[in-house]
Chain A
Amino acid sequence: MTGETPKDTDPWMKSLDGKYAYAYERSGKLMSELGCSGYPSAALVNASGMVIWVGHPASIPNNLIQEAIKGALPKPVYEWPASASAAAAALRKKKYVDAIAAAAKIPEADGGPAIKTALEAVVSGKVEGLKSAREKGDLLTAYESAKALQKELEGLPQAKDADAIADEISADAQAKKIMTAQKRLREIRGQRLGKKNEREKAIEDLEKMIEGFPDTYLAKEAKSTLNGLKQKK
């Protein structure tokens, strides 16, 4: 994705024999909302449409790539046949119950059963991702995913898994404290921290997280961020 013009970009891409898809976004809104400030930068989006990593494209962790593709559709919707348009439209709106019902009506000759199976796999992948976040103690991710999935999976039996995790976390006072700290951790990671006092405040907050919530996923993540910050000092 680039903020430049086709006049400049197309010949350049051709000269490098670049084969990948690209598009233009002149306002720079996407870049800035993701906290990216330099070129090249990248954002990894999982099959559920959540941005799970941002940074330099050369430093994407392999495990996150595996996580991102979990439960992904084998074919993008723009390659689906015309008879799958209702399923595609419901999928774009993240109405999974409607998408699966529409997929059931796609003729076998158009790959209807395969599309239906793929959609069911996307739903399973979403629920697995949610459970995995809960198991590793990433409560903020688990809670936010659960809230989103309560809507997206409405009408499907898997919605109960989302309900159970959202209810469990929201009833736990300690989990709420951890999620508040996780939001601050996210903020620190998204900040540029160019000023000394901003860095010092971030370090102080990270140390509090490590001391206040020992042996948690939060503490582990805070330690990693703290080490990164100290190295950049």
Chain B
Amino acid sequence: MNIRVLLLATLALILPALPLRAEGETFQPLPQVTLEGFTQTKAKSLDDYTGRALLIEFFAYW
């Protein structure tokens, strides 16, 4: 069995157990967290966006 087949077989076993991503409407206060290094903005904390609509995207580079 080559490595690719082994990886695919492993994935096939793991995938059904992987969590489903939470998606949909909710209504909850924005959890209080400390963010650092605000870039490309004059904001220094999430509180600086009080009264504004905000879209927070969680991203990773690759």
* Interface residues, chain A, with chain B CB atoms under 8 Å away: 1-4, 6, 8-10, 12-13, 18-27, 29-31, 33-47, 49-57, 59-60, 64-65, 68-69, 72-73, 76-79, 91-92, 94, 118-119, 122, 138, 140-141, 144-145, 148, 186, 189-195, 221, 225, 228, 232
Given contacts A1-B57, A194-B18, contact A29 B37 (CB under 8 A): no
Given contacts A25-B35, A42-B58, contact A186 B26 (CB under 8 A): yes
Given contacts A4-B60, A24-B36, contact A54 B27 (CB under 8 A): no
Show 15 A/B contacts (Cβ-Cβ < 8 Å), sorted by A: A6-B39, A12-B61, A13-B61, A33-B31, A33-B33, A36-B58, A39-B59, A41-B57, A55-B22, A55-B23, A78-B43, A91-B50, A92-B50, A191-B22, A194-B17
Are B51 and A77 in touch, CB under 8 angstroms? Answer: yes
For chain A, what secondary structure do more than half of its interface residues adopt (helix, strand, loop), or is it mixed? mixed
Q: Contacting A78 at CB < 8 Å: which of B28, B33, B40, B48?
A: B48
Q: A53-B24, A55-B22, A138-B27 given. 11 additional CB < 8 A pairs?
A: A3-B58, A26-B36, A43-B56, A55-B23, A65-B53, A73-B51, A77-B48, A145-B27, A190-B22, A193-B20, A194-B18
Are B61 and A72 in touch, CB under 8 angstroms? Answer: no
Q: Contacting A73 at CB < 8 Å: which of B28, B52, B60?
A: B52
Contacts of B42 in A (CB 8 A): 78-79
Give the Cβ gap from B44 to chain A, nearest Cβ, in Å.
7
Are A25 and B22 in touch, CB under 8 angstroms? Answer: no
B21, CB-defined interface residue at 8 Å: yes
Q: For residue B57, which residue of chain A has the nearest CB? A: A42
Given contacts A1-B58, A30-B31, A36-B58, contact A47 B43 (CB under 8 A): no
B2, CB-defined interface residue at 8 Å: no
Given contacts A50-B28, A50-B29, A78-B44, contact A45 B53 (CB under 8 A): yes
Contacts of B27 in A (CB 8 A): 50-52, 138, 140-141, 144-145, 186
B54, CB-defined interface residue at 8 Å: yes
Q: How far is the CA of A95 from the CA of B31 in the complex (A)?
A: 19
Contacts of B38 in A (CB 8 A): 21-23
Q: Contacting A47 at CB < 8 Å: which of B20, B22, B35, B51?
A: B51
